[in-house]
Structure 1
Amino acid sequence: MTTLKPLLARNRSWALQCRQRDPNYFEKYVHQQQPHSLWIGCSDSRVPAEVLTGSHPGELFVHRNIANMVDSSDDNFMSVLQYALYNLKVERVVLCGHYGCGGVQAALALPELPLANEDSALSRRIASLRGALGDDIDQFHRSEDEEAERHKRLVEANVLIQFARLAACEPVREVWRSGRALGLYGCVYELGSGHLKDLIEQTAEESSP
């Protein structure tokens, strides 16, 4: 029978180690949180924001979903973004994808997957992602490069697409228009090395051509 006991035991061990290093480790975060960044990442269990950035409790405000998607019609996503910007007043927003993303791979293969015939939240999510990646998927199939490299480019394309959506979100634009400093950063995590790769950044609203 599966139980929670192993997780509880590891939790107690972790808490003890933290208090041994700093007796006030937990107490200083009890009454408020002051994160410096909002992290928008993939739900993939191999990409834990706090672990891969070496962050402590209170440093990151985190939203994760399949394929690190930005959707202004998603109340869950928008409420996190609004709270981070308006209430917590974070100074940066990090949008992080990762190579080997299952969501991006599913979007690529969707027509051949049983998921394509479902009427479910997951199928709608992946269909939306496939639609956003349409031109890049066409380029994926036209390219003669190694498949692994094409997959990497598709992951990076998704980060750039979601980043553009983030920069266009009204809460982000309102902060920029107010004159408050806010940086947006798009990056990709490499599972094999544990390293983050910078792709794009923006620190002000861009003027329309």
Structure 2
Amino acid sequence: MTTLKPLLAKNRSWALQRRQRNPHYFQQNVHSQKPHSLWIGCSDSRVPAEVLTGAHPGELFVHRNIANMVVSGDDNFMSVLQYAIEYLNVSRIVLCGHYGCGGVQAAVSLPDIPLSDENSPLARRITQLRKALAPGLAETRDATDESERLNLLVEANVLAQFGHLIRTEPVLNAWRAGGELDVFGCVYDLQSGHLKELIQQNAEGQLP
């Protein structure tokens, strides 16, 4: 029978190590949180936001979903975005995709995979992702290296979702009110462990 004991043991060990290094490590976040950034990432288990950024508890407010999608009709996503901006007053939003994204690969493979025959939340989301990737799919159709093509489509997805993000009401309202809010689009390289910035925008509309 599978038990939770291994995870509990690792948790106790981690907590002990943190207290040994700093006796007040956990107390500083007991009564409130003041994260500096909202992280919008992929649910992929290989891309844990706090681990790859070296962040501590209280630094990142995190939303993750398949293929780091920004869907204005998704109350789950939009409530996280609104709360982060309007109540936590984050000064930075990081939208992060990653090379080797299974969601992007599935979207590229439609309609030639069994998922296309399903009427399920996953099938609907991947279909929506394929529509967002349509321009990139056309641009990379003649690519000879499939791995490189998928990498380009991962970047295209970040750019597409970034475009959706900066048009959401919470972001636009923050900018209209003169709030200091910078939005970044990044991609994570599983092989090197490095983040690469693709795009950035703030209230002045300054793009790199």
Q: Please tell me the TM-score bracket, short chain as reference.
A: over 0.9
Counterpart residue type for residue 64 of structure 1: R
Shift of 1:138: 2.1
Please state whether the residue corresponding to 1:141 is helix, strand or coil: coil
Deviations 1:140-174 (A, max 9, x none): 22223x22111110000000000000000011000
CA contact (8 A) 1:167 1:205 kept: no
Deviations 1:65-110 (A, max 9, x none): 0000000000000000000000000000000000000000000002
* 1:166-181 equivalent positions in 2, closer than 5 A: 166-181=165-180
Deviations 1:98-133 (A, max 9, x none): 000000000000211100000000000000000111
CA contact (8 A) 1:42 1:68 kept: yes
Shift of 1:8: 0.2
2: CA distance, partners of 1:167 / 1:141: 28
> What residue is the counterpart of 2:73 in the other structure?
73
Counterpart residue type for residue 66 of structure 2: I
* Aligned alpha-carbon RMSD (Å): 1.1
Counterpart residue type for residue 110 of structure 1: L
Number of positions where the alignment pairs a residue of Structure 1 with one of Structure 2? 206
> What residue is the counterpart of 1:161 in the other structure?
160
Counterpart residue type for residue 93 of structure 1: I
> What residue is the counterpart of 1:118 in the other structure?
118
Deviations 1:6-45 (A, max 9, x none): 0000000000000000001001100000000000000000
Counterpart residue type for residue 177 of structure 1: R
Distance verdict in 2 for CA 1:127–1:205, change over 3 Å:
farther
2: CA distance, partners of 1:206 / 1:24: 41
> What residue is the counterpart of 2:127 in the other structure?
127
> What residue is the counterpart of 1:184 in the other structure?
183
Counterpart residue type for residue 113 of structure 2: L
Q: Whose helix proportion is higher, 1 or 2?
A: 1
* 1:58-97 equivalent positions in 2, closer than 5 A: 58-97=58-97
2: CA distance, partners of 1:171 / 1:132: 21
Unaligned ranges ≥5, structure 1: none
Q: How many percent of aligned residue pairs carry the same amino acid?
A: 67
Please state whether the residue corresponding to 1:119 is helix, strand or coil: coil
CA contact (8 A) 1:34 1:59 kept: yes
After the TM superposition, list the runs of 4 or more consecutive aligned residues in structure 1 that deviate by more than 3 angstroms.
none
Please state whether the residue corresponding to 1:131 is helix, strand or coil: helix
TM-score, normalised by the number of residues in structure 2: 0.97
